[in-house]
Amino acid sequence: MARFDEVLLDLVKPMVEDKDSLEVRQMPSNNEKEIVLYVYAKNDDIARLIGRKGSMAAALRQVMSVASHTDNKKVSIKFEQI
């Protein structure tokens, strides 16, 4: 089983300026087929990770959904500012 929080952290780390405040946590879900990941970062970095019209967030979700296919799970990514 993959550590999805570590995979997502490796993907987003090069995109942010304040790497020390960046954190990715995997939270429990009511649905056993769903993985919920929260990305915590500073306001400017969150804006960068979401992108214009959500394009970067959509791309991150797409990559993570491909990674989760082997476990037959759905990945949800939520962005929160610190």
| Percentage above 90 pLDDT, the chain | 90
* pLDDT per position as a tens digit, 29-62: 999 999 999 999 999 999 999 999 999 999 999 9
CA distance readout (Å), 53 to 59, 61, 71:
12, 14, 30
Question: What pLDDT shows up at residue 26?
Answer: 96
Is residue 24 a contact partner of residue 5, using CB atoms and an 8 Å limit? yes
Model's pTM, two decimal places? Answer: 0.92
Per-residue pLDDT band at 2 (split at 50, 70, 90): low
DSSP collapsed to 3 states, the chain:
CCCHHHHHHHHHHHHCCCCCCCEEEEECCCCCCEEEEEEEECHHHHHHHHCHHHHHHHHHHHHHHHHHHHHCCEEEEEEEEC
